[in-house]
Amino acid sequence: MPKTYSPTSTKLKLPGIIDLFSGCGGLALGFQMAGFEIKSGLELDKNASEVASYNLHWKTGSNQSHITDDITLLEADKFYNNIDKNESFMVIGGPPCQAYSKIGRAKLNSLGEKRRPENDIRGKLYENFLDYALNIEANTIVMENVPEAIDYDGVNIPETVCKILDKNGYDAKWTILNAANFGVPQTRERLFVMAVKRSIGHLNHFPIPTHRPYSAQPDTINKLWLQSKIKDQEYYQPPTLPVGYLPYWITVGEAISDLPALFLDHNQKYKNNKPMALKSYESEPQNEFQALMRNHNQLNKVTGHMFRNTKRDFPIFSQMNEGDNYLSAHKIAMDLFKEEMRRQGVIESDTEKVAELKKKIVPPYSTEKFLGKWKKLSLTKPSHTLVAHLCTDTYSHLHPIEPRGISVREAARLQSFPDDFIFNCHMGAAFKQIGNAVPPLLSKAIALAMIKNIEGDQ
């Protein structure tokens, strides 16, 4: 049975959660933290589905699970076949964003006419999401995506979704939230559609920030193109801005300083830790965020603390400063290359040896196009947005002190996954799942707002 929640003097039975396009379960985890029960979920990626099933169900003794299947092939009636439709449900999920996001659109455009964003089936998966939600007559709905979804081949997806929900009896709005404002050590803007069936309540409450930036923040929506697209939209809800008395944004240093050191010197021998290898914490929790991440970790040790073996680039990382991008990295690499030429006595005219040596030391990337794809994190700032490309490499998120990319566990911390959330899969799959996920602390803030909307203004 769903858990009860009593924010006021009355007890409220919360709807069960149906988690679509679940990934590894970040969105659902936030709702679980707020007191909801996860009834079932659906995810195409087998690795992600198993990680979600383990963490949201199996490790607590529940025999429920997330289903691995394709939502475009599995009819809603069949998915709901084993679910008691007499109960009330909230349907949540984040349809894939590749067709909307800047990175995803660029990749699709490079693959030819048939793979252009407007021809990508993933751009219409919100229709499948709505089909599932309306099929079970969900009394509440939350859908997540990237802000770029407001302009998909000229169509505003969240506005379209809200119109459909409005016609079907829902009070619906969409908003854009920055995860850093909700205690996540990462500046990550994401779009959310929130809806409540008018027969059970109204959408009067939205997530309230728990943290604020160090400097004045005139507008959470700080991209000019975004401001122009959201102007005068019927269903757009401006986010609540942080207030002055709140604690400051969580920084990278505050998020990961208690995790064990892995690679202090670039000459150190690389060790590939296994996903379930246990490592002791570096220290006791140094702040509230670290204590929160460790709160339910009965092992009192870290798993998933593994990083990529980028042997060529470890010496480059060691000389980069916090905040440096690829321009700095390339200059360091060229200096190392010239120094090695002198050491070996290689002269410029020996083009074959020069080319061979350069290949071993200097990354072959353009200094005009590749700048943002290398970035060393700063201890005193939140991380920039984590992305699914972490599954390929971690150059976009280099450790602020050690000469390496971040580990899986560090990436999880930057997304606010607690340390007892286990990524029992290979490293690439774990990085992809983390990069794609909704930060659980952001999700929890949405869940708490939805509880108020269900409960009403009592």
Label each residue of 345-386 as H, E or C: CCCCCCHHHHHHHHHHHCCCCCCCCCHHHCEECCCCCCECCC
Strand ranges in 105-252 using DSSP code E only, listed in sequence order: 140-145, 170-178, 189-197
Residue 86: the pLDDT is 85
Any idea which residues carry the catalytic annotation?
97
Helix (H, G, I), strand (E, B) or coil at 116: coil
Hunting for tokens 């390929």 — which residue is that? 392
Task: List, in order, residues 6 or more apart from 41 with CB less than 8 Å away.
Answer: 18, 19, 20, 22, 25, 28, 49, 52, 53, 56, 66, 67
User: By the 8 A CB rule, do 7 and 455 touch?
Assistant: yes
- Alpha-carbon distances, residue 444 vs 36, 130, 270, 286, 339 (angstroms): 10, 22, 37, 23, 52
In angstroms, the first-to-last Cα distance of the chain is: 24
Angle made by CA atoms 435, 405, 331, in degrees to the nearest 5:
120
pTM, two decimal places: 0.91
Hunting for tokens 């769903």 — which residue is that? 2
Question: Domains of the chain (ranges plus CATH)?
Answer: 4-249+438-455 (3.40.50.150)
**Cα gap 102→99, rounded to integer Å:** 8
Angle made by CA atoms 19, 22, 24, in degrees to the nearest 5:
130
Helix (H, G, I), strand (E, B) or coil at 51: helix
Secondary structure (DSSP) of 213-277: -SS--S-S---HHHHHHHTT-TTB-PPPPP-TTSPBPPPHHHHHTTSPP--SSTTSPP----TT-
Strand ranges in 72-122 using DSSP code E only, listed in sequence order: 89-93
**Cα gap 231→300, rounded to integer Å:** 49
Residue 98: the pLDDT is 60
Find residue 356's DSSP bridge partners.
none
Show the low-confidence residues of the chain (pLDDT under 50).
1-10, 105-106, 108-109, 111, 115-116, 218-219, 458
